[in-house]
Amino acid sequence: MTIIPIVRCTRLKTSLAFYTQVLDFDCVEHAGDDDPSFSLLMRGGSLLCLSSHGGDGEFGQAIMITTDSVDAVFRRFRARGLKTPGNPDAPGAVHEGPIDQSWGTRELYVDDPDGNTLRFVEGFGIGPSVEPLRATS
C-alpha cells in the first residue's frame, strides 16, 4: 500500500514551480497548467500530489518530511531563492531557519505559496528512506 498526501493549491503552475525549483521535488505526472489540475511529485522515493481541484483537501495543512541534514536542505533551498522571515543566520522561530526542538529533533518549516507547511525534520528516529517494521510472532 502507498499513501499519497494531497496538498491543495490555488494555482498549480505557481506551486509546481516552488516545489520543483526550490524544494527538490521531481514532477512525475502533470495533468496540465490550466486550473483545476493536479501534478504528482516525488522526493526521496515518496510521492506527493498537488491539486487545485476544489474538493481536494484544505489549505493550511502540514506535511512532515524526514531528512539526514536540515541544515544542508536549508542552505540548498536558500541558494534556490527561498525567502524566510527574520534572520536565517540566527533563527528565533522554526520558519526562519533550522531550530533544535526540545523533543530532540532539528526542524525547519517552509510555507508553500498557499500557506501549507512542509516540516523538514532531522533526528526523528527514522531517516528519509525507511524499511518497514515487521511484526514478530
- pLDDT tens digits along 69-95: 999 999 999 999 998 888 888 888 888
Residue of 7, 59, 67 whose CA lies nearest to 38: 7
Following DSSP, what letter does each residue of 55-100 receive, concatenated? TS--TT-EEEEE-S-HHHHHHHHHHTT---SS-TTS-SSTTTS-EE
Is it the case that residue 31 has pLDDT exceeding 50?
yes
CATH number assigned to the domain covering 6-122: 3.10.180.10
In the chain, % of residues over pLDDT 90: 76
User: What are the extents of the domains in the chain?
Assistant: 6-122
pTM comes to 0.85
